[in-house]
Amino acid sequence: MNTIAGHHAPTLEAVAEAAGVSRATVSRVVNGSPRVRGEVVEAVQKAIAELGYVPNRAARSLASSRTHSIALLVPEEVSRFFGDPYFASFTTGLDRRLADSEYVLNLVVARDDPDRKAVRYVRGGNVDGAIVVSHHSGHEFLAQLEGAVPVVFGGRPEAGISTDPYYVDVDNVAGGRLATEHLIGLGRRRIATIAGPEDMSAGVDRLAGFRAALDDAGLPSDAVGHGNFTAPGGAEAMRRLLDTHPDIDGLFVASDLMATGALGALATRGIRVPEDVAIVGYDDSPAATWGEVGLTTVSQPSELMGATTVDVLLRLLRGEPDVPHANIVPTTLVRRDSA
């Protein structure tokens, strides 16, 4: 066990000899071929265990022209990606699902890819497939990946990146609706929102869900402020909203970070949460639990999204037909104190 160092790692050959069969048979057993006699399978497995045989990845890859590894392509600063709790969780999901497979994850960062090193890596046959996350417009070089290997995007990519991509995403309209309907269910009747930027689909879609829910309930949906997904932005939007709509009793904020700002602004004016104004945030980020009052918020199942992304890619790698391109996962409401 500990004496492996110094000795050569055992090969198929060695296992074959120990089990009294040919290399080919051992290979079949290792790869789970159904057409090997039961006793033989056992004998081989015993030999494998005794010798501590581990297949040589390179040799296997060379012979089969499959690498058994997939690229996790991050087209920007690592710290930007991993510093985001959402992606941390997403990656957890990725890894969990991948752990059950034979695949290994290669971390490929391409923050600035002048010589297209990352693209060449992926196209160079070093991986069987790729998962792309945290992509924005401006990352058009990603278009060169598809056609080389199967690619699945975490989040729907911009049109310039792919025309018919495989991707996993949440339904932001449904999320906005979910939050707003919760407020309505609580009996709130004058509900406002602090929406995200008007040039981001996440912002636009959540606002659309907000409006749809209020329309369906026959309630006014005119109390709309906009923030830039930051805490100060949320505070400022809150102040403006309070000036123009002092009677609001419910609030949907399109991000938890903005919600923390809004909470500060409310506290300053002596408005209590949730007694006077009930609040629902979005993201279920760590910030949702930092404050005095826990923030009720819309949770994106980031871990599930990571797992789903892997599932889609594995199906593609398996050559399954009719794998859906758009994979939408549901959002859920996490109830805390604020609503």
Partner DNA sequence: TTGTATGCGTTATCAG
Partner DNA sequence: CTGATAACGCATACAA
What would you report as the CA-atom Rg of the chain, rounded to the nearest whole angstrom? 26
For 45-202, where are the E strands, in sequence order? 69-74, 104-109, 129-132, 151-154, 166-170, 191-195
Closer CB to DNA, residue 67 or residue 255?
A: 67
Q: At closest approach, how far in Å is the CB of 32 from DNA? A: 10
Closer CB to DNA, residue 2 or residue 163?
A: 2
Site for DNA in 49-78 (CB under 7 A): 53-56, 59-60, 62-65
Cis peptide leading into residue 301 (ω within 30°): no
Task: Report how far residue 160's alpha carbon sits from residue 79's, in angstroms, rounded to the nearest whole number.
Answer: 25
Q: At closest approach, how far in Å is the CB of 19 from DNA? A: 9
Nearest to 30 by CA among 7, 47, 5: 47
Q: Is 309 in the site for a second copy (CB under 8 A)?
A: no
Site for a second copy in 32-61 (CB under 8 A): 54-59, 61
Give Cβ neighbours of residue 311 (< 8 Å, ≥ 6 apart). Answer: 97
Strand partners, 327: 168
**Helices 23-30, 38-51: inter-axial angle, 10-degree rounding:** 90
Residue 27 interacts, among DNA, a second copy, none and using kind-specific CB cut-offs from 5 to 8 Å, with DNA
Q: At closest approach, how far in Å is the CB of 36 from DNA? A: 4
Q: Is 148 in the site for a second copy (CB under 8 A)?
A: yes
**Residue 163 CB: number of other CB atoms within 10 A?**
9
Instruction: Show the binding pattern over residues 65-104: x = contacts a second copy (CB under 8 A), - = does not.
Output: --x-x--x----xxx-xxx-x-xxx-xx--x---x----x
Q: Is 11 in the site for DNA (CB under 7 A)?
A: yes
Task: Report how far residue 195's alpha carbon sits from residue 197's, in angstroms, rounded to the nearest whole number.
Answer: 7
Q: At closest approach, how far in Å is the CB of 310 from DNA? A: 22
Identify the helix (H) or strand (E) that includes residue 298: strand 296-299
Q: Is 21 in the site for DNA (CB under 7 A)?
A: yes
**Residue 298 CB: number of other CB atoms within 10 A?**
30
**Number of residues near DNA (by CB under 7 A):** 31
Chain residues that interact with a second copy, rule: CB under 8 A = 2-5, 9, 54-59, 61-62, 67, 69, 72, 77-79, 81-83, 85, 87-89, 91-92, 95, 99, 104-109, 117, 120-121, 123-126, 144, 147-148, 230-232, 235, 260-261, 264, 268, 286, 289-292
Site of interaction with DNA (CB under 7 A)? 8-9, 11-13, 20-25, 27-28, 30-31, 34-37, 39-40, 53-56, 59-60, 62-65
